Amino acid sequence: MEFSEVVRRRRMVRRYDDRPVDPAVVDRMLEHATRAPSAGFSQGWAFLRLDTPIDVARFWDATTPATADPENRWLSGMRTAPVVLVPLTSKQAYLDRYAAPDKGWTDRDEARWPVPYWYVDAGMATLLILQTVIDEGLGACFFGITPERVETFRHAFGIPETHQPLGAITIGHRLPDTGSPGSPQRRERRALDEVVHRGHWGG
């Protein structure tokens, strides 16, 4: 598939059919993720791969709020995904890397960072997963883990405190009905001249 087509077709899919995903395809998604840029080549990302029915069910048990309606269309659709990937990031990996002799920020002061690149880089790795999904003819949805369920998620999967989950990605074969409509059904995509400023803000 041409790259422009991968970009154009990328969207969040919230319901999947029951066909399994080839493990070799998941391997490629994760290998591509590790090709993302990272500040100082810190590579502070990690990925939890859940691709068995037991592990996927454990993910939903750990992350679903107790008050959630099991008949909710979004939740019931997302639970049909055969694969869940959880991208994580380690701030400490970046602070340690930039305290190395070739960088020299031995104080590890977070104020030195204009933005938290541990999130930026893991986000770019996540996008490479989403793009690979489209290139492989599959569907995916990135979504957040609610704050009150993060510790339950950590406990269920042994996630160390050094790593913070960015969210999770459901992956599977697309259906004609891809699940509950997302925001693009209610909001138009902004035009280029609304978001691109040439030479000066507002220019």
Alpha-carbon dihedral sign for residues 187, 188, 193, 199: positive
Give the type of residue at 195.
V
Q: Does 202 score more than 80 pLDDT?
A: no
CATH number, domain containing residue 98: 3.40.109.10
In a domain, 36, yes or no: yes
In a domain, 203, yes or no: no
Buried b vs exposed e over 2-41: b needs ≥16 C-beta within 10 Å?
eeeebeeebebbbbbeeeebeeebbebbbebbeebebbbe
In a domain, 197, yes or no: no
Q: Which stretch of 6-10, 116-120, 137-141 has the lowest confidence by average pLDDT?
A: 6-10
User: Hey, how many other C-beta atoms are within 10 angstroms of the C-beta on 98?
Assistant: 21
In a domain, 126, yes or no: yes
Give the type of residue at 191.
A
In a domain, 195, yes or no: no
Quote the domain boundaries for residue 19.
Answer: 3-178
The model's pLDDT over 10-27, given as tens digits with 9 standing for 90+, comes to 899 999 999 999 999 999
**169 contacts 85 by C-beta, under 8 angstroms:** yes
The model's pLDDT over 43-67, given as tens digits with 9 standing for 90+, comes to 999 999 999 999 999 999 999 998 8
**138 contacts 174 by C-beta, under 8 angstroms:** yes
Q: Which carries the bigger pLDDT value, residue 73 or residue 176?
A: 73
Domain count, the chain: 1
Q: Does 101 score more than 70 pLDDT?
A: yes
Q: Does 203 score more than 80 pLDDT?
A: no
The model's pLDDT over 178-192, given as tens digits with 9 standing for 90+, comes to 666 666 667 788 898
Local structure of 84: helix, strand or coil: strand
Q: Which residue, among 125, 119, 127, 114, has the nearest Cα to 91 in the 3D structure?
A: 119
The model's pLDDT over 64-100, given as tens digits with 9 standing for 90+, comes to 998 888 789 999 999 999 999 999 999 999 999 999 9
The model's pLDDT over 160-174, given as tens digits with 9 standing for 90+, comes to 999 999 999 999 999
In a domain, 193, yes or no: no
Spatial distance between the Cα atoms of 116 and 197, rounded to a whole number of angstroms: 24
